Amino acid sequence: MYQFSRAIYRELAGDILEPDTPWSDCHPHERVLKSCEAAIERLATDRHYFARPARTLFNDIRIFFPMSKQHCVWHVVRNYLELADEFFARQPLRGFDVNGNPLECRATTRKGTPCQRMPLPHNGYCPSHQHLAETEELEAVPVGGSRELELAA
């Protein structure tokens, strides 16, 4: 899993700015590597709730690069995170995530505790909570889109 974060770091390491002050508590190289690892970890374990991983990682690390390299940094981050997302999507779900933790349904029960049933691979919900996946799809559709077309005609 960390081959993606290390690849991002290796490709960007030469352009990282040196720290302004020698007494800073964390070196920029270390911060960039930790941010890359955190983004890949979250992408691997929480894909359904990580809407824009490339933008998140880019915003976390962009301060460590000169303005002239921002465009290159964005392309590297976007390309590697797209590859990582495709890789994680292709991994077979055998009841465990990439870290070996058992998979659980994304829903909560009426009591407010997490549902502990095995989720289906295509959306992360168990068979009892499939209706929640359908409502997520409806929320993505703009409200009133067809009504505005009727009024315009």
pLDDT in tens, 111-134: 888 887 877 766 777 877 877 777
pTM for the complete prediction?
A: 0.64
Angle between helices 70-90 and 53-61 (to 10 degrees): 140
Instruction: Convert the pLDDT of each residue in 94-112 to its tens digit.
Output: 666 666 666 778 787 888 8
Please state, in angstroms and rounded to a whole number, the distance separating the CA atoms of residues 114 and 108: 4
Confidence bin at 53 (pLDDT 50/70/90): very high
Residue 14 to residues 69, 78, 92, 128, Cα–Cα distance (Å): 11, 18, 36, 50
Q: 10 Å Cβ neighbour count for 25?
A: 7
Best CA proximity match to 107, nearest among 76, 129, 82: 129
As a whole number, mean pLDDT of residues 17-36 equals: 82
Token reading at 35: 């941010």
Angle between helices 28-45 and 70-90 (to 10 degrees): 30
Q: 10 Å Cβ neighbour count for 112?
A: 6
Best CA proximity match to 75, nearest among 133, 131, 118, 12: 12
149 pLDDT more than 70: no
